[in-house]
Structure 1
Amino acid sequence: MNSSPITSSQTGIHEQLSTLVVRHMATPFRKPVTDYNRKAFDSSIATWRTAGAAPLILDTGCGVGLSSYHLAVQYPDHFIIGIDQSEDRLARNTHWSGPEPLNLCFVRADLVDYWRLLLEARIFPARQYLLYPNPWPKIGHVARRWQGHAVFPTIVALGGYVECRSNWQIYIEEFAAALNQVATDRLDRIAISETYATETPITPFERKYLSSGHGLWRCCAQVSAAL
């Protein structure tokens, strides 16, 4: 089934994004963490530690988990935690055959709380993937995009290799701009938006977008954690 391209009246980086980022950097995010998310976090971290506490990879908003599976196969010396807030999506991780890799676990949790709990626990992932997040393309929804959200400085503070992919170029341009603004001297290089192509898509969305002829973009950067 073909996917329609993203349409928006926004034609470039949102004019309020930089102001939002400054505000979020200056103001501590004090939203209470729910008990459910804390328990889910503790359980997944216990699983990671029991498995040997290998370098950690986060697959955030993993959906049905296909991308998490591919990451587990690609990085056998790492441990992958696939995180999604939907129990239904996580229950449908049927896109591969055979047993679940031993270096992989899934957790149902709200990402906003999960990221903050990681920083609170001083657990810094080796790699973070944000693959095709909800683009929220309406101009008034910029604060719902990760780069405009109050949790964005926490994502950046966790550091590691950070990669975000989208089929909306503006989303990635914004992500790169916000990353440069927050990380400043903690980046290995200036973050940019770049086109992305692959013959082996690792998420159902990536497969659908490619088969529908969409352009894909990504931002990749190595970020030093805010220790």
Structure 2
Amino acid sequence: QILEIFFKYHRESKGSHEAAMLSLEQVQTFLVIEVQSVYQSQGIDISDKHIEVIVRQMTSKARVDDGGDTTMLPGELVEIRQIEQVNEAMSITGGAPAEYTPVLLGITKASLNTDSFISAASFQETTRVLTEAAIEGKSDWLRGLKENVIIGRLIPAGTGFNAYEEPTAAEIDPAFENAFLDDDLALQNMVLDDRTARVYDREGGLDLFAGEDVVGGNSPATGEDGASRQNSSLPSAFLDDDALIDDQTEAP
């Protein structure tokens, strides 16, 4: 492979990580240019970023040649970022780092060799992926877009990054430092990822979800001055739907 040739060339004068990054960058550039040339020959212009996203996944793994003092096994396909984190820990503890060679995966294999078994199972070989995940007791940390969409969570992209970002101690307002829930507090009544905008601010109404009285003001059911657009003799729909049905059936 062209990637292996580039890696061996740079490995003679540089370390494993730097040689891997340089060789991957050259291969990534080569792939983007070649794919673009096919589309541009037909008069189709596509932004590079769409191809780069796919190429990034194809070049994100490396094959472990020697696990050293780590828990990684020879021949195992691991993300380069993860290998470097382990090697950094080995350099601190004095252990032998892992030796690896970057690999170029096909689109199908790259999709199946993901950390998320939910994402892999939704692509191909569903039975095998789920069986292996159950036997190995895998956990899915829901870091990607696909697995979050599958289970109905807010995707970690755009404004969704703020929803899953854990605030540091410096970012927490002192006024709220004691306002967080205790570990022993029952959480069974909490609704996670409930981002539906509820604007129940009719005067004299009741928020059925919060169980609290609502302060009067502007809402879709009231005018700009807070006056109700409905007949005041009718019961509020926010108070009791059953009572509204009974009143309508009893009317002559």
TM-score (norm 2): 0.20
Structure having the higher Rg? 2
1 or 2 for the larger relative contact order (CA 8 Å, sep ≥6)? 1
TM-score (norm 1): 0.21
